Structure 1
Amino acid sequence: MDENQENAGRGPARSGPRDSLFLLTNLSSIDGTPLGRARVRNLSASGLMADCERGVPAGLRVQFDLRGIGQVRGSVVWSRDDRIGIAFDVEIDPQLARRPISVHDSRSAIPDYLRQRRLTR
């Protein structure tokens, strides 16, 4: 199989480096209508490719949260079965999604009612 045949099932070619990774997110339309879960497979500064629970049509405007980045908005530029490509409205730093989650102040991550308190006598 040559490269053209291999790429025939994919969406339009994207420029720029892409990171392969596995992130889960919940897609919704811009008006807040839930579209189901998505597994992000490739991420770049300008877009992503994801597997979805159900088909999401090309042309739809979507929003979702990405770990380490926050809320992202964009447009579904291609859709094939349960796989989609999204072009972001604003470029992101894809390396932020790869950073390990750490807590600088561990006390702030634990709610007051779960913290162990020292008993004073």
Structure 2
Amino acid sequence: MNSNQDETGRGPARSGPRDSLFLLTNLSSADGTPLGRARVRNLSATGLMADCERVVPAGIHVRFDLRGIGQVNGSVVWSREDRIGIAFDVEIDPQLARRPVSGAKHGTMPDYLRQNRLVR
């Protein structure tokens, strides 16, 4: 075990609050090389933990989009099999990722779901 892992092997302990959620994103390296899809499992203002479809090594700089936030840059600080921990370059507001995607008012039906009947 190295100094960046706790007894469970999960990586360095975090002190900030984290939100558990499931978001999908596509990871790429800083130069734009695709690194595959990732499922974000928990999110905080300073980082995240994600399951990846392939191994992503620790120490590389990555970028990705988060719903409600936009492009985020960070470094993979730990990697174990298909799971990684990313520390963000700039803090985010994790609550933005939980906001509804649609800007529609609650209870409003989208146009494509409305039945338009012609009266003759």
Which TM-score band (shorter chain)?
0.7 to 0.9
Secondary structure of the corresponding residue to residue 40 of structure 1: strand
Aligned pair count reads 102
1:41-80 CA-partner distances (Å, limit 9, x unpaired): 0000000000000000000000000000000000000000
In proportion to residue count, which structure has more helix?
Answer: 1
Q: Which residue of 2 aligns with 1:89?
A: 89
Matched, 1:39 2:42: no
1:66-100 CA-partner distances (Å, limit 9, x unpaired): 00000000000000000000000000000000001
- 2:24 maps to a residue whose letter is L
Given the superposition, is the C-alpha separation of residues 7 and 97 from structure 1 closer, same or farther in structure 2, using an over 3 Å criterion?
A: farther
Q: CA deviation at 1:8?
A: 1.3
- 2:80 maps to a residue whose letter is R
Secondary structure of the corresponding residue to residue 49 of structure 1: strand
Structure 2 distance, partners of 1:8, 1:86, is 18
Structure 2 distance, partners of 1:54, 1:40, is 14
Q: CA deviation at 1:26?
A: 0.1
Q: Which residue of 2 aligns with 1:113?
A: none
Structure 2 distance, partners of 1:7, 1:71, is 33
Matched, 1:20 2:17: no
Q: CA deviation at 1:102?
A: 1.9
- 2:43 maps to a residue whose letter is L
1:24-43 CA-partner distances (Å, limit 9, x unpaired): 00000000000000000000
The CA RMSD measured in Å over matched residues stands at 1.8
**TM-score using structure 1 length:** 0.79
Secondary structure of the corresponding residue to residue 97 of structure 2: helix
Matched, 1:59 2:59: yes
Q: Which residue of 1 aligns with 2:117?
A: none
- 2:46 maps to a residue whose letter is S
Using the aligned pairs only, state the percent identity: 84
Unaligned runs of 5+ in 1: 1-5, 111-121
